[in-house]
Chain A
Amino acid sequence: MSEYRVTDRGGPAPRMIVRYTDRTRLNHWFVALMFFGAGLTGLAIFHPFFYPLVNLFGGGVWTRILHPFFGVVMALGFFGLFLAMWRDNAIDANDRAWLREMPKLVRGNEEAMPPVGKNNAGQKLVFWTAAVGLLVLLVTGFIFWSPWFAPVFPVVAKRIAVVLHAFAATILILAIIIHIYASIWVKGSTAAMTRGTVPEGWARLHHPLWWRQMTGK
């Protein structure tokens, strides 16, 4: 990730900086696919409003069977992402200052924000929400995983687990809605994760400290 690559596309093509390695990008999209698998199957059996989603997964019984497998695979996948990214997501004093100024960013005034490194505080919070949320979902999910593990646990444990599972899932889904919206809102950031590289100007605009670190300018 510390690679600084200059690509020559001819003409006025921008110089590109590697933002995510291939391994990180594929890992991210694997987790994203599993998130949609686990999220849609989970919503289907959480609220009747979403129950028709079972038709995407072969009916209610198959939805119930598949949901925990999507979940476990997502959690394992995220563990790989966690190892690759946790250092970039350590929260420091600069992030706290950034969060205080966040209302200005929401109004579209990015110039008012403190300069950002590789990730801004919002991105870091999404990362930690996903990490903690998935851990809670994984542990509580095992407790009422029918028919394999549920019979092992007392009913009170299952009732507590199911409430925590619903709570953690809601927080995670809200974080991912914000995450997806941010990638639509901040032009060029979806391409960072699909192609792995960003134009130098994009880095300079949204992540100036990281841009300086990568380019030495």
Chain B
Amino acid sequence: MSSLQSLDIALRSATTTPSPEARHQPEVAKLIDVSSCIGCKACQVACMQWNDLRDDIGDNNGTYDNPRNLTPQSWTVMRFSEVQREDSTLEWLIRKDGCMHCADPGCLKSCPAPGAIVKYSNGIVDFISEHCIGCGNCVMGCPFDVPRISKQDNKAYKCSLCSDRVTVGLEPACVKACPTGAIRFGTKEDMHEFAAERLVDLKERGYQNAGVYDPQGVGGTHVMYVLQHADRPEIYHGLPADPHISPLVWLWKGVAKPLAVAAMVGAVFVSFFHYLKVGPLEAKDGLADDERGDGTAHDPAARRTT
């Protein structure tokens, strides 16, 4: 997407000056109630339709996952997990995968291109393709393995949380299309309130470990899940239990980046002032090397070998 909302930008990749933040919108969230999802993929279709994306026809790998994975053209994918309960019965867990819109986005932290990734004050994290240089750093920064690099232009693509719709007061396309109300959209506060009602219902039905997935390791997310088994998020097709930006990314962008530049600029400064203080290293007899002939005026070798 291109940025439609520059006044709303709260964070901007590879930018050391303050962001506009002229507007302060309430934080939004998409709440995905896994317990109400029937796996119909209307959300996938709505995503394709609104964003006008058409993925290549893939192949069947024996599951309902179609396409098999997120792609530059498929920004959301239903993940079907068949899980065996303790009583040996089957539980079919269907999770709508896609960008989680982290409050502390690892992609944005890793991105070297100014303004290629932005976070709006409402919490949406958006890729601004015209500024993307296609380096793939966002892939390394993301704790959820979401960004995908296009084979067409080598730039990164992912769910925009329909930032273009949200900015004009509409809900994301997937939310509009969901026939069971499993996907909801509103302020993050309202979504937490709604999730709390869902949890009461789920616990009454015997899901004692039901909970909301809003992982604090990435500062919370603007896409949240209601999970029947919030104690074991990994069973939902590997949803990370405690996602956080890798410490390696911190070492790279938090330590190496500023220290390296300081060291390089420092080395140039020290060299310059060393020259001014000590002066050039040359023969002390005042003759240029070219004028000295065979060097008899200054003979350290002879001195040292005696």
B168 within 8 Å of A (CB atoms): no
Let me know if B166 is at the binding interface, CB within 8 A: no
Expressed in whole angstroms, the minimum distance between the Cβ of A182 and any Cβ of chain B is 9
Interface check A96, CB cutoff 8 A: no
- Contact with A170, one of B113, B263, B281, B292 (Cβ below 8 angstroms): B263
User: Between A and B, how many residue pairs show CB distances below 8 Å?
Assistant: 178
List the A residue with the shortest CB-CB distance to B149.
A147
- The verdict on A48 contacting chain B, using a C-beta distance below 8 Å, is yes
**With known contacts A147-B154, A185-B281, A201-B283, A45–B112 Cβ distance under 8 A:** yes
In the complex, A204→B294 CA distance in Å? Answer: 9
Contact string against A for B residues 257-277, beta-carbon threshold 8 Å, 1 for contact and 0 otherwise:
111110110011001001100
Known A-B contacts A46-B257, A49-B16, A150-B139; A204 and B289 likewise in contact (beta carbons under 8 Å)? no
Contacts A162-B252, A201-B293, A208-B304; A49 near B133 (Cβ below 8 A):
no
- B83 sits at the interface (CB 8 A): no
Residue contact A45 to B271, C-beta cutoff 8 Å: no
Q: Does A77 contact B (CB under 8 A)?
A: no
A185 & B260 in contact (Cβ 8 Å cutoff): no
Would you call B239 an interface residue if the criterion is a C-beta within 8 Å of the partner chain's C-beta atoms?
A: no
Chain A, interface residues (CB within 8 Å), range: 35 or more
Q: Mark A160-177 against chain B: 1 for CB-CB distance below 8 A, else 0.
A: 101100110110011001
Q: Are A212 and B301 in contact (CB under 8 A)?
A: yes
Q: Do residues B256 and A163 form an inter-chain contact, with CB atoms below 8 A?
A: yes
B281 cross-chain contacts in A, Cβ below 8 A: 105, 108, 110, 185-187, 206
B283: A residues at CB distance < 8 A: 201, 205
Q: Evaluate contact between A204 and B16: CB separation under 8 angstroms.
A: no
Contacts of B299 in A (CB 8 A): 204
**Docked pose: A129 CA to B48 CA in angstroms:** 52
Q: Is the CB of A166 within 8 A of B301?
A: no
Q: Are A187 and B298 in contact (CB under 8 A)?
A: no
Which chain B residue has the least Cβ–Cβ distance from A204?
B295
B197 at the binding interface (Cβ < 8 Å): no
9 contacts between A and B (CB under 8 A): A45-B112, A54-B133, A60-B131, A64-B134, A108-B281, A147-B134, A184-B280, A202-B295, A209-B301
Question: Interface on B for A, CB 8 Å cutoff?
Answer: 14-16, 112-114, 131, 133-137, 139-140, 145, 149, 151, 154, 246, 248-249, 251-252, 256-261, 263-264, 267-268, 271, 274-275, 278-283, 288-295, 297-301, 304-305
A-B pairs, top 8 by smallest CB distance, nearest first, are A201-B295, A208-B301, A146-B136, A60-B133, A181-B271, A201-B292, A159-B248, A170-B260
Q: A166-B257, A184-B275 are in contact. List 13 more A-B contacts (CB 8 A).
A: A14-B291, A63-B133, A115-B300, A144-B136, A147-B151, A150-B139, A159-B248, A159-B249, A163-B252, A174-B264, A201-B283, A201-B293, A209-B301
